[in-house]
Amino acid sequence: MTHDLLALTEQLCAVPSVSGAEAAIADLVEARLRGCGAPLQVDRIGANVVARTQLGRDRRIVLGGHLDTVPPNGNEVPHRKGDVLHGLGTADMKGGLAVLLALADDLVAAQPRFDVTLVLYDGEEVADEHNGLRRLFAEAPDLVQGDLAIMLEPTGGWIEAGCQGTIHVRATFDGVRAHSARPWMGKNAIHRAAPLLERCASFDAATVDVDSLAYRESLQVVRIEGGIANNVVPDRCTVVLNRRYAPSRPLEAAVAEVVTFCRDAGADDVEVLNASMAAPPNLMHPLIAEIIGVYDLPVRPKLGWTDVARFAAHGIPACNFGPGDPELAHTADERVERVHLDACLALLEAFLGIGEPPPARAR
Amino acid sequence: MTHDLLALTEQLCAVPSVSGAEAAIADLVEARLRGCGAPLQVDRIGANVVARTQLGRDRRIVLGGHLDTVPPNGNEVPHRKGDVLHGLGTADMKGGLAVLLALADDLVAAQPRFDVTLVLYDGEEVADEHNGLRRLFAEAPDLVQGDLAIMLEPTGGWIEAGCQGTIHVRATFDGVRAHSARPWMGKNAIHRAAPLLERCASFDAATVDVDSLAYRESLQVVRIEGGIANNVVPDRCTVVLNRRYAPSRPLEAAVAEVVTFCRDAGADDVEVLNASMAAPPNLMHPLIAEIIGVYDLPVRPKLGWTDVARFAAHGIPACNFGPGDPELAHTADERVERVHLDACLALLEAFLGIGEPPPARAR
């Protein structure tokens, strides 16, 4: 079957799905997957939709994508320029979802060499407690089992191996209220946060080698809030930090690092809002080695956290491979190109044994 | 007439009146002032109540107080400990309002040597555009004319002379959004605000002599806000600064100073939210000199902005004199003592010529 993947991506982008409001897009993909009929068996839990073949194959490949987007950035209306689709979610990751839906169509009449599970889930762009894949692993782990998981996060056609861990902490600075004309009677909580901001602004994040891949870490203030009234010395300032760390050390060590960093800058309280482990690159795993080797895919480390870490934590090797430039994710310039959508679908179908092998990459 | 000023203050404190919600307390004071009858003539405009004698005296004394309070700080329920009343608004400035209401009662049967205007108004603790006295000067200037204005702001029984000016500016730092795992693709607006916070935290505010009074200036960050989502490098951070400056220089110069300060710290935009002039001490004015000299009152500079500056701007000399410790205003420990309420009422009645002269201050 030939697919207009750009048009399908545009349809998906036309349904807003900022985290927390994924019901409409879940309805859309559920209806479409149910329409495929046998051999796809479709389950839905909340705004999470899972479609599985049950062909009795020895091994099962899980292909995953999240339904939600970050908030719009003046780019909520998708628009095409030739064979490029611009707008919120085009790259992260409705282009990947379009590939999954096309794959579902093509699986129906085919004889793939693996059983295949498609997982489309909500709540990936927000705190881990909202993550739909987390819910599936907790409530229906059989639905998401497999021998290899591929997340269709935007990777620009590369294999992005493993992923960095991500930690959010909220540092709180206390103060003492006073009339702002007599600040010496109080203590300014926002002023007390200045050293933490300064240390974050000048933080020299490391680049860490794991399996010869260079994971570039980061530390960013992503939120700050303080102040009660314009005439009052504020008694509270909260700062949310996001730490991204390489899969070179355990989660506990990375959490301890960032908590200490905040404490050293004078924070009175440091609350860990969420902490997600990193995933190792796993380049020597047979299925990952095969997909890289047979199709001669370029490999680089995944800097953003993705649910490959969740699969890894459940003992399922996983990598990222999807259409769209990851550096454009969460920016106003987010976009995806038709040629990358087509290439991603072709490669996955070849790997699953239901399509022509794609041409080898130019060297 | 003898008054239980502590009980009256407690009644007033039992009616919440955070800025913007003064209607109920305005109703209460209006009803009470109308109940006094002749010679008090009562006018109400919005949540502003003005009661005036019309006795044909040569000179008129305006006595003023604001009805609103800052937001509560766990102290919204007034409670007494012996002859001390604790709670929001006790000092700033429902104690002063209680003195004004008692004075109204006593004016009725008396022959004061001045005509007297009592002005009780809303919106003093917030941006100037909400200030009820501003509205009265704009809409009904005859109601607030006089030869001397005394604001019953808490001064601890001192004459607090003049007042410092106050300026609020909002400094905005721009950035460029990006995924927080690839912050080098964006620019972090909160990180960019770090130098401004640091400069405010370490700012060495001057103490300026005017008429031998030492005005202690200040500069405080009173609000900060930034961040769009926990995975996004923020593209905007806003910081609100409050500058308090001595009556040694004109408003324009003080505004220029603080705008330059923010620009020098890298702010992309600086918006002046409000800017209120300072008021000179005016210690040589005959009526101010009289009240200080005859009752041997101690004098110090007023550090907070008060509406004496508005009276001064309209050519009416003004000073602050009221019950309660100004250093407790806007703090959780705000309180007022019965002895100070009684002393304030006694002094004002003596000055107006309707009471016994109070005993001279111990030297």
ipTM (interface pTM):
0.79
Q: Phi and psi (nearest 5°) for A124?
A: -85, -30
Residue B236 C-beta-side C-alpha neighbours within 13 Å = 7
Task: Please state, rounded to an integer, the average pLDDT across all residues of chain A.
Answer: 94
Q: What is the pLDDT of residue B357?
A: 61
Closest approach of B207 to chain A, Cα-based (Å): 12
User: Mutating which of A167, A223, A239, A303 best tests the B interface, going by the most B Cβ atoms within 10 A?
Assistant: A223
Active site residues of A: 68, 124
Per-residue pLDDT band for B231 (boundaries 50, 70, 90) equals: confident
Asked if A163 and A278 touch (Cβ cutoff 8 Å), the reply is yes
Question: Among all chains, which residue has been given the structure tokens 């010395």?
Answer: A233
Q: What is the pLDDT of residue B344?
A: 97
**Is A362 a residue whose pLDDT tops 50?**
no
CA dist B193 → A190, B199, B269, B296 (Å): 12, 10, 12, 49
Distance from C-alpha of B291 to C-alpha of B315, rounded to nearest angstrom: 19
Closest approach of B88 to chain A, Cα-based (Å): 13
**Is A96 a residue whose pLDDT tops 60?**
yes
Per-residue pLDDT band for A146 (boundaries 50, 70, 90) equals: very high
Q: What is the pLDDT of residue B81?
A: 96
Asked if B292 and B361 touch (Cβ cutoff 8 Å), the reply is no
| Other beta carbons within 10 Å of B22 | 27
Q: What is the mean pLDDT of residues A187-211?
A: 97
Least confident residue range of A113-122, B65-74, B323-332: B323-332
List CB contacts of B4: < 8 A, sequence separation 6 or more.
none
- Closest by CA position to B61, among listed B1, B105, B103, B123: B103
User: Mutating which of B76, B153, B164, B220 best tests the A interface, going by the most A Cβ atoms within 10 A?
Assistant: B220
User: Mutating which of A73, A76, A163, A190 best tests the B interface, going by the most B Cβ atoms within 10 A?
Assistant: A190
Q: What is the pLDDT of residue A363?
A: 32
Q: Residues B122-141: pLDDT tens digits?
A: 999 988 889 999 999 999 99
Q: Is B318 exposed, middle or buried (0-12, 13-18, 19+ CB in 10 A)?
A: buried
Asked if B318 and B282 touch (Cβ cutoff 8 Å), the reply is yes
Contact B225 A221 (CB under 8 A): no
Q: What is the mean pLDDT of residues A48-55?
A: 97
Contacts of B206-211 with C-beta under 8 Å, sequence gap 24+, read B206/B246, B208/B246, B208/B248, B209/B248, B210/B162, B210/B246, B210/B247, B210/B248, B210/B280, B210/B281, B210/B301, B211/B161, B211/B280, B211/B281, B211/B283
The residue in chain B having the minimum alpha-carbon distance to the alpha carbon of residue A237 is B224
Residue A133 C-beta-side C-alpha neighbours within 13 Å = 28
Q: Which residues of A181-207 are buried (b: 16+ CB within 10 A; e: fewer)?
A: bbbebbbbbbbbbbbbbbbbbebeeee
Please report how the helices A23-36 and A5-13 are oriented relative to each other, as an axis angle in degrees rounded to 10: 140
**Is B361 a residue whose pLDDT tops 80?**
no
| % pLDDT > 90, chain A | 88
CA B286, B289, B291, B296 torsion-angle sign:
negative
Contact A127 B230 (CB under 8 A): yes
- Closest by CA position to A323, among listed A351, A300, A346: A346
Q: What is the pLDDT of residue A358?
A: 59
Per-residue pLDDT band for A357 (boundaries 50, 70, 90) equals: low
**Contacts A66 to B, Cβ<8 Å:** none
Asked if A258 and A242 touch (Cβ cutoff 8 Å), the reply is no
- Tokens of residue B291, six digits: 């009240």
Q: What is the pLDDT of residue B329?
A: 86
| Alpha helices per DSSP H over B218-285 | 251-264
Distance from C-alpha of A197 to C-alpha of A42, rounded to nearest angstrom: 48
| Other beta carbons within 10 Å of B58 | 8
Active site residues of B: 68, 124
Q: What is the mean pLDDT of residues A129-141?
A: 97
Nearest to A191 among B193, B197, B305 (CB): B197
Q: Which residues of B322-352 are buried (b: 16+ CB within 10 A; e: fewer)?
A: bbbbbbbbbbbebbbbbebbbbbbbbbbbbb
**Is B13 a residue whose pLDDT tops 90?**
yes
Least confident residue range of A68-77, A188-197, A216-225: A68-77
Asked if A91 and A325 touch (Cβ cutoff 8 Å), the reply is yes
Distance from C-alpha of B65 to C-alpha of B63, rounded to nearest angstrom: 7
Q: What is the pLDDT of residue B327?
A: 84
Residue B285 amino acid letter: H
**Contacts B155 to A, Cβ<8 Å:** none
Count of residues making up chain A? 363
CA dist A290 → A284, A294, A313, A318, A352 (Å): 9, 6, 22, 13, 12
Nearest to A188 among B164, B178, B221 (CB): B221
| % pLDDT > 70, chain B | 98
**Contacts A168 to B, Cβ<8 Å:** 230
**Is B362 a residue whose pLDDT tops 90?**
no
**Contacts B164 to A, Cβ<8 Å:** 181
Distance from C-alpha of A191 to C-alpha of B69, rounded to nearest angstrom: 25
Per-residue pLDDT band for A105 (boundaries 50, 70, 90) equals: very high
**Is A126 a residue whose pLDDT tops 60?**
yes
Distance from C-alpha of A230 to C-alpha of A217, rounded to nearest angstrom: 38
Contact A221 B190 (CB under 8 A): yes
Q: What is the mean pLDDT of residues A281-310?
A: 93
Q: What is the mean pLDDT of residues B328-349?
A: 94
Is 0.80 topped by the overall pTM? no
**Contacts B232 to A, Cβ<8 Å:** 70, 222, 330
Asked if A190 and A198 touch (Cβ cutoff 8 Å), the reply is no
Q: Residues B166-218: pLDDT tens digits?
A: 999 999 999 999 889 999 999 999 999 999 999 999 999 999 999 899 999 99
Contact B232 A178 (CB under 8 A): no
Contact B190 A224 (CB under 8 A): yes
- Closest by CA position to B64, among listed B13, B29, B20: B29
**Contacts B273 to A, Cβ<8 Å:** 230
**Is B299 a residue whose pLDDT tops 90?**
yes
Closest approach of B189 to chain A, Cα-based (Å): 9
Q: Residues B29-49: pLDDT tens digits?
A: 999 999 998 889 999 999 999
Q: What is the pLDDT of residue B360?
A: 52
Task: Please state, rounded to an integer, the average pLDDT across all residues of chain B.
Answer: 94
Distance from C-alpha of A363 to C-alpha of A348, rounded to nearest angstrom: 20
Nearest to A227 among B164, B195, B224 (CB): B224
Nearest to A230 among B168, B191, B244 (CB): B168
Question: Distance between terminal CA atoms of chain A?
Answer: 29
Q: Is A315 exposed, middle or buried (0-12, 13-18, 19+ CB in 10 A)?
A: exposed
